[in-house]
Amino acid sequence: MNKQDPRGFQLPRRRFVQGLALGGVAAGLGLWRGDVLAQIAQAPRAELSGTHFELEIGELPVDFTGRRRIATVVNGQLPAPLLRWRQGDTVTLRVRNRLPVTSSIHWHGIVLPADMDGVPGISFDGIPPGGEYLYRFSVNQAGTYWYHSHSRFQEQIGLYGPIVIEPRDGERHAAQRDYTILLSEWTDTDPERIYANLKKQSDYYNLGKRTVGDFAGDVRRQGLSGALAERRMWQQMRMDTTDLADVSAMAYTYLINGRAPAGNWTGLFAAGEKVRLRFINGSSMTFFDVRIPGLKMTVVAADGQPVEPVTVDEFRIGTAETYDVIVEPSADRAWTIFAQSMDRSGYARATLAPRAGMAAEVPPLDPRPLLSMGDMMGSMGHVGMGHEGMGHDMGDMSGMDHGSHGMAAMPALKTGVEVDMRVPQPRRNLDDPGVGLRNTGRRALSYADLHAVDAPISPEVDRELTLRLTGNMERYLWSFDGTRFSNAEPLRLKHGERVRITLVNDTMMTHPIHLHGMWSELENEHGDFQVRKHTVVVQPAQQLSYRVNADALGRWAYHCHLLYHMEAGMFREVVVA
């Protein structure tokens, strides 16, 4: 069966989901013979180590789907080279820009001086065409991180790469093999076109809208009156239970280490070995749910920071997050690393194997989940949630202000052009792994499972700051507190003060929020320190709090790490002075 692409041509379903077995950057090398490409498919990508690095931003033709396109790359590679640093060293990185437009590199999650952070218009002017910039800073942390462009949509078309920082005192958890697993997406569509499509029609890439057949299933479960009442309520609120991701496999081919699923990147292991997998979500818009069927994963680090080991079957990794896991695969078989998109429209896939050329079964995609009333109403909508995606008891909605769009809203929080939804009672629990991971029979990681090994940097706070994550889906506008970046004043923090930032998600989308230059120390619902992160995922209708020690002078970026959300306005400048 063929799937119609929005640009008017047909892609076979298998090609659509899996991409080309032998594509990617090999196209840019002019290599098309299968035997040569097969060798490239399994070759480790380049790694650079030491204290001085020469990086060049340029362009390269690539082919992931049968259509030749131009990627933005570093040193002729997609992903960019793995950079290996050592804790305590001072690194120098000379970045040359060979593009016809301004570019940049941001060192995601690295604590450094503001003028080294790499955000044009905030921390520096950007790297002009034909120009260069010298980054130099001390590396005072260890773990798994990544780097990417902070210039318009360059990240979407290839400018991203992994960073591994060796701890000064050695790894806390020994492993005989150590692999970086960089998750990302590729699109043949110009990102500017994707953005324009979303602005015109926010559900343009939603392939999973509910059908008459789905309604018939609801009738069988709930009865006709119940099914009609639920459908009517969602329609009145102008919300869609299938609105999980703005961009789907309709536009994306999902990659692991620059390989489409058919390319099957493979990491080798020997009998009795422990394998460390450093997962990085370097995508622009995709949450991945990761598992290795039949194999337990022990999470030992989150966002580069060590955590108390916790063993799970599956974890969700938001855009820009990193997780380190330890696995112990048996030596007599291959194992599939399976990362399905949150909307279940596609997947990335790789293999762990004792010998090259082996492969394991790739599981089918899970059924597409549905957002529940709890994902819109917060704690009010969690009453009587019987199974994934369906909230049968909506609670008492009387006396509530529904706003101009029929959305439930507190009287002081009106809807309007910039904001089409307000959550009257956000939930504060951390033990929900998220829509699609509830009640699957697999143990899924939640933030409640993550416990930092180290004590918090900011045990007390001097000031409280609350921000609401807001948007208007129909207009594809995203913001903090109903104000897009173009109209917003900077958030001002006093140098040395300790601030508790509370985020309230007034949308039905999941947002990964990244504060540059400072750690975000997540609290649980009781105000106790949980885990230190650089990117905090806020689920729909959820309220989260974290402490920030404002010890980094200068101007910093603060934004949703979903690229099109950031460009659409969910971005603020933070000034520490």
Residue-level pLDDT at 373: 66
The partner residues of 85 in beta bridges, in order of sequence, read: 165
Residue-level pLDDT at 237: 52
Check whether 32 has a pLDDT greater than 50.
no
pLDDT band at 331 (very low <50, low <70, confident <90, very high): confident
Give me the half-sphere count of Cα atoms (radius 13 Å) on the Cβ side of residue 147: 28
Check whether 193 has a pLDDT greater than 70.
yes
Write out pLDDT tens, residues 203-231: 999 876 555 555 556 656 777 766 566 65
Check whether 11 has a pLDDT greater than 50.
no
Check whether 557 has a pLDDT greater than 90.
yes
**Mean pLDDT value of segment 539-557:** 97
Check whether 35 has a pLDDT greater than 50.
no
> Is 220 or 418 the better-scoring residue by pLDDT?
418
The CB density around residue 343, as the number of other CB atoms within 10 Å, is 25
Residue-level pLDDT at 12: 53
Check whether 386 has a pLDDT greater than 90.
no
pLDDT band at 328 (very low <50, low <70, confident <90, very high): very high
Q: Provide DSSP, 166-181.
A: E-TT--SS--SEEEEE
In the chain, what percentage of residues exceed pLDDT 70?
81
Check whether 240 has a pLDDT greater than 80.
no
**Mean pLDDT value of segment 234-241:** 57
Write out pLDDT tens, residues 467-514: 999 999 889 999 999 999 999 999 999 999 999 999 999 999 999 999
Write out pLDDT tens, residues 48-73: 999 999 999 999 999 999 999 999 99
Check whether 44 has a pLDDT greater than 50.
no
- Token couple for 284: 């622009």
Residue-level pLDDT at 384: 32
Residue-level pLDDT at 53: 98
pLDDT band at 332 (very low <50, low <70, confident <90, very high): confident
The pLDDT mean for the chain works out to 86
Check whether 45 has a pLDDT greater than 50.
yes
pLDDT band at 242 (very low <50, low <70, confident <90, very high): confident
Q: What is the pTM of this model?
A: 0.88
Check whether 310 has a pLDDT greater than 70.
yes
- Rounded Cα distance, 543 and 540, in Å: 9
The dihedral through the CA atoms of 514, 518, 524, 526 has a sign that is negative
Residue-level pLDDT at 3: 40
Report how far apart, in Å, the C-alpha atoms of 357 and of each of 15, 178, 333, 351, 354 are. 21, 19, 12, 10, 9
- Rounded Cα distance, 345 and 436, in Å: 13
Read off the DSSP letter of residue 431. -
pLDDT band at 421 (very low <50, low <70, confident <90, very high): confident
**Mean pLDDT value of segment 158-162:** 98
**Mean pLDDT value of segment 367-379:** 76
User: What are 170-175's contacts with CB under 8 Å, separation 24+?
Assistant: 171/276, 172/300, 172/306, 172/453, 173/276, 173/300, 173/309, 173/326, 174/274, 175/273, 175/274, 175/275, 175/276, 175/326
Helix (H) or strand (E) holding 557: strand 554-560
Write out pLDDT tens, residues 13-31: 555 568 887 777 766 666 5
